[in-house]
Structure 1
Amino acid sequence: MPPLPLLRLPRLVQCEIFKLLSIGEKIQLSFCSKKVSTQINNARFYSQKVIVVLDCLNEKINVHSENNKETFEITTFWKNHRGGFLSVIRYLLKMFQCKISISNNYNSDLFQPTISMLFDLQVEFKKLTILLTGSKDHNLLWNQISKKLELVEDLKISSVPDPGFRPVFTSWPQTINIWRSYWFNLEYVLTCTCSRITLELSNLGNQDLDEILKNWKAGGLPNLKHLRVGSQRITNNGTAILGMAPLELQEKEIQTDDGSKKATINTGFQIFEMFFEMLIYQSVHVA
């Protein structure tokens, strides 16, 4: 069988061929020549969607298909570690429709420049984990990304105890999970537009939860699907929540004032604190 004249084929035919290639095959083919690479990049919007998992600590990049059936690993060996790592990421962004996943890499020198570049390029994140300590570098990074958090599907924040720590949110991710969330007070919750909010080591107490539930019942927090709070300030003998002690809310079903949504409440103990969990769903009206 004669060789396929790939570069002389019409663009739509090329796109169909590129669709048939695996992630690894497409990356390897792009190395054949600059012209091949350009043609693959031109067909980016016909390309498969991938998750690019960045391991800044070990300078590795894994490219996964959305269903995780395909994966291709890239290890960088540039003398200029930062330049090499960032150039590979930019190379992949030109080739695929990418979402980025990066976690527990904040101790790497590559972490901050990588995150900064990706937000500047308006790249979407499947998962992003960051550390906020109130340091100058962390504050600079937060000021940059806090305006564009709508690019993030799942944001995880780890922070350190600091009474003066109050990051400002000018946008919100789809879901947020905060470890040491002592600073995420009632005002943050009531203005948050996330669909899932998870707060561990929180300072929220019974009165705060009562305010949150009353707000939700009145039509507030319209995007919320799931709320979980773990806090030592949730006590069974403290202020009533919707007229009940926290443990009385276990498996309790509540609904909004207009009846459009319902929620199931779970409460209990975890390690050294109580937890409060709320799962929200649409009411089903039978004609």
Structure 2
Amino acid sequence: MTADFDRLRQADLPEVRAAIRAGRYTGHTAGLGRGYLQANLVILPEAQALDFMRFCQRNPKPCPLVGVSDTGDPMMHTLGRDLDIRSDVPAYNIYRHGRLDGTTTDIADLWTDDMVAFALGCSFTFEHALMQAGIPLWHVGNDTTVPMFRTSIPCVPAGPFAAHMVVSMRALPEGRVDEAVALSRRYPLAHGAPVHAGDPAAIGIADIARPDWGDPAPLPGGHVPVFWACGVTPQVAIEAAAPPLCITHRPGHMLIADIPEAAEVPVLAPQAA
């Protein structure tokens, strides 16, 4: 039986992670792990890892790099004391030669000794601050995945990795937009301030009712669509680079680290002797 989303929203991080690791919860992570950094995931063979790291370094807005594993080690030691990248994400996408080949909830049978895992900050991290300020988030309240869109905003390429930025959208009351901008700016490891607010066509989005990933969300009167850079951008770059095998999170299904969400630099305190 799948663990109840409403119950996990109130649970502490160890309980959330245990439910994910055991396969009892395989849904989106918006609203879960309050107080802790959420991260997108990319896993590549070492042969493609350096070019991908360059892509992240050149595009920190959509790709804020918060952790990198040692080659062949599935434990993300800088992000958690017991964080196994093979099982601690609710759902994974499997890409072969740049094409989505399937999804799974555990990648232990796919992990090899030449793999490197990258964790990139996620906008779900600052959503807790928005909600604490009383700014409503429709996708959290309605248990759906935030809508995500391809845009016309170019990224800086690195080797075979190239993409146009992907953004996530939240429809906010027009009187709260400036406040949301100021709050999210405090979280540079979670994409920081939005890249655009207002007319979707200005950034190449033809139909806001038809997201490329996630679920559609309403745009009520008196609300403004606000767009943040999104960690699904690397998945577009992976389509272009077409590595033989790449594993990512399924959009909306994040890795939740042991790092406090307000941390400017991810540093895990050393474990007591």
**Alignment TM class, shorter chain as reference:** under 0.3
Higher strand share: 1
How does the TM-score come out when normalised to structure 2?
0.23
How does the TM-score come out when normalised to structure 1?
0.22
Could you say which structure has the greater relative contact order, defined with CA pairs below 8 angstroms and 6 or more residues apart?
2
Higher helix share: 1
The structure number with the bigger radius of gyration is 1
